[in-house]
């Protein structure tokens, strides 16, 4: 066993232009349907050298099927296929890597980090398509990871690990985390850190006038951090921390520290804030002014649900969407505050999603139907995150928005199947 898993097989295939499917024409709605996914991996990419990138995948062996072997031992067998693509819109496959892993029963109860090096022969804003196949179950799922190796100052040329040198798989930290920060040039021993604390507005309604305020890049504080210190780094204040080699560029890696419990909703204050999409302005202000926020929030939901059981189910559905929005759409602000998070909470998961290199299209209903509702998002060039998308707003959404909100206010989850 190597690093707690047994590597059975490794095949490396370098290819110039292998034909493959064009991902932009496929419905990728499963990427935002957590409950329908069997596998829930997390990914970390670190460009160690110009021709080599280290890919780490966090998997849960319990999600795979264990089958009795001839020696009476139970094992799970998994194949992982990595395809480096030019983009969602391209059929060009640049490099591939295929691996086979076997897990025994001793590994079933804990997560496993699979780490391997992938030779890379192209620079740019690329796409890593990861296929995970459970060989015993004969079931597979696709995952997609941005792969950006053009600018050596950007986030994927840094790696954040814990004190045991296991990579972080999220870009958020808590005030209990101590971490190590590595830059691919090992001679760089100190980095600049810009600290920002901002109160961001929640996403405007989809039919409102679209005004995106320019971000104020003047940091609240700027200081140097020693990344060679073996004791690691620790930050206690909420906000975000942008680490840079060169401050004349905006590129770097950013860690976000949100309220305790993130991405879950754990306090009455968070419950109140995230139900703003359902409330009138005066109504929200009156609830916020109550001396006991928890009781006021409970009273709002009971007024919608009508009885305890229905209210409980309504609350569970709403805040599950809020938490999933935090998981999927968090950028420089919590996912529930973003354009995609707002629509996900109110309308649910789309029936169809088409992805491009810098865009996403969401469709509720049947594509090309006059009865369907479609939204279009464009990726924003943001030095702090690659997960910032802006909605193309339009007055045509007003009636659909108010109809969905009214369904919630009448005590029913809109689009309850998603």
**Digit-coded pLDDT (tens) for 141-171:** 999 999 999 999 999 999 999 999 999 999 9
Average pLDDT over residues 52-64: 96
> Binning pLDDT at 50, 70 and 90, where does residue 4 land?
very low
Which whole number is the average pLDDT over 293-320?
96
Cβ contact 43:56 at 8 Å: yes
End-to-end CA distance of the chain: 41
Considering the segment(s) 6-150 as one domain, its CATH architecture is: Sandwich (2.60)
What's the mean pLDDT in 44-56?
A: 94
Residue 11: the pLDDT is 39
The dihedral region occupied by 306, where left means phi > 0, alpha psi between -120 and 50, and beta the remainder, is left
Q: Where in the chain do CATH 2.60.40.10 domains reside?
A: 6-150
Q: How confident is the model at residue 5 (pLDDT cuts 50, 70, 90)?
A: very low
Please determine, for residue 15, whether its predicted confidence score (pLDDT) is greater than 70: no
The model's confidence at residue 18, banded by pLDDT at 50, 70 and 90, is very low
The burial class, CB within 10 Å (0-12 / 13-18 / 19+), for 110 is exposed
Confidence at 212, pLDDT banded by 50, 70, 90: confident
In this prediction, residues 30-59 reach a mean pLDDT of: 93
Partners of 183 in beta bridges: 158
Instruction: Identify the pLDDT of residue 20.
Output: 55
**Predicted confidence band at 66 (pLDDT cuts at 50, 70, 90)?**
very high
Instruction: Give CA–CA dist 268/359, Å, rounded.
Output: 35
> Closest Cα partner for 147 from 81, 95, 186, 188?
95
Cβ atoms of 59 and 65 closer than 8 Å: no
Q: Tokens representing 113?
A: 């980090």
At residue 36 the predicted structure's pLDDT band, cuts being 50, 70 and 90, is: confident
* Count of positions (residues) in the chain: 418
CB contact set of 295 (below 8 Å; sequence gap of 6+): none
| pLDDT > 60? residue 399 | yes
Residue 309 clears pLDDT 50, i.e. is over it: yes
Question: In which band, very low, low, confident or very high, does the pLDDT at 7 lie, cut at 50, 70 and 90?
Answer: very low
- pLDDT at 187 > cutoff 50: yes
CA 170, 174, 179, 184 torsion: positive or negative? positive
User: 143, 242, 201, 238: which is closest to 339 by C-alpha?
Assistant: 201
Report, in this order, helix, strand and coil percent for the chain, each rounded to 5.
Answer: 25, 35, 40
Strand partners, 119: 52
Count Cα atoms within 13 angstroms, Cβ side, for 391.
Answer: 24
CB contact set of 294 (below 8 Å; sequence gap of 6+): 268, 271
**Which of 125, 215, 204 has its CA nearest to residue 391?**
204
Q: Evaluate if residue 1 carries a pLDDT over 50.
A: no
CA 213, distance to chain mean position in Å, is 23
> Does 41 score more than 60 pLDDT?
yes
| CA atoms of 295 and 210, how far apart (whole Å) | 35
Percent of the chain with pLDDT over 70: 94
Q: How many CB atoms lie within 10 A of CB 8?
A: 12
SS3 label, residue 207: coil
pLDDT digits (tens, 9 = 90+) for 225-281: 999 989 999 999 999 999 999 999 999 999 999 998 999 999 999 999 999 999 999
- Residues 371 and 415: their CA atoms lie apart, in Å, by 15
Whether the predicted pLDDT of 79 surpasses 60:
yes
pLDDT of residue 17: 39
Out of 19-23, 57-61, 219-223, 349-353, pick the least confident: 19-23
**β-pairing, 221-226 with 239-244?**
unpaired
Q: In the chain, what is the greatest distance between 2 CA atoms, to the nearest angstrom?
A: 69
């Amino acid at each position: 066993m190597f690093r707690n898993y047994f590597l059975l097989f490794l095949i490396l295939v370098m290819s110039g232009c292998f034909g493959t499917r064009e991902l932009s024409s496929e419905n990728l709605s499963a990427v935002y349907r957590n409950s329908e996914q069997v596998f829930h991996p997390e990914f970390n990419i670190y460009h160690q050298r110009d021709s080599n990138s280290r890919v780490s995948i966090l998997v849960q062996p319990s999600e795979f099927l264990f089958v009795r072997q001839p020696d009476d031992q139970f094992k799970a067998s998994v194949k992982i296929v990595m395809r480096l693509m030019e983009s969602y819109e391209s059929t060009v496959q640049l490099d591939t890597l295929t691996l086979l892993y076997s897990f025994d029963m001793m590994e079933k109860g804990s997560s496993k980090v699979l780490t391997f090096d992938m030779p890379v022969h192209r620079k740019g804003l690329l796409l890593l398509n990861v296929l995970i196949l459970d060989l015993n179950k004969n079931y597979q799922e696709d995952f997609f990871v941005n792969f950006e190796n053009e600018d050596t100052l950007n986030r994927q040329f840094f790696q954040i690990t814990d004190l045991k040198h296991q990579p972080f798989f999220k870009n958020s930290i808590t005030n209990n985390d101590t971490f190590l920060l590595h830059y691919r040039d090992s001679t760089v021993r100190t980095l600049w850190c810009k600290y920002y604390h901002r109160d961001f507005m929640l996403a405007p309604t989809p039919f409102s006038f679209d005004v995106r305020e320019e971000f104020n890049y003047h940091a609240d504080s700027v200081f140097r951090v020693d990344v060679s210190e073996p004791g690691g780094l620790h930050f206690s204040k909420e906000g975000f921390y942008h680490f840079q080699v060169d401050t004349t560029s905006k590129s770097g890696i950013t860690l976000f520290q949100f309220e305790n419990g993130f991405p879950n909703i754990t306090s009455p204050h968070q419950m109140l804030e995230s139900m703003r999409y359902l409330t009138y302005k005066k109504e929200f202000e009156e609830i916020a002014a109550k001396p006991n926020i928890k009781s006021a929030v409970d009273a709002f939901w009971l007024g919608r649900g009508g009885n305890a059981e229905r209210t409980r189910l309504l609350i569970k559905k709403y805040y599950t969407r809020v938490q999933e929005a935090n998981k999927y759409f968090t950028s420089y602000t919590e996912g529930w505050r973003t354009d995609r998070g707002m629509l996900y909470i109110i309308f649910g998961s789309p029936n169809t999603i088409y992805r491009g290199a810098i865009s996403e299209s969401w469709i509720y209903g049947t594509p090309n139907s006059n009865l369907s509702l479609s939204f279009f998002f464009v990726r924003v060039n943001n030095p702090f995150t690659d997960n910032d998308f802006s909605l193309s707003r339009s007055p045509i959404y007003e009636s659909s928005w108010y109809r969905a909100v009214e369904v919630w206010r009448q005590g029913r989850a809109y689009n309850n199947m998603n």
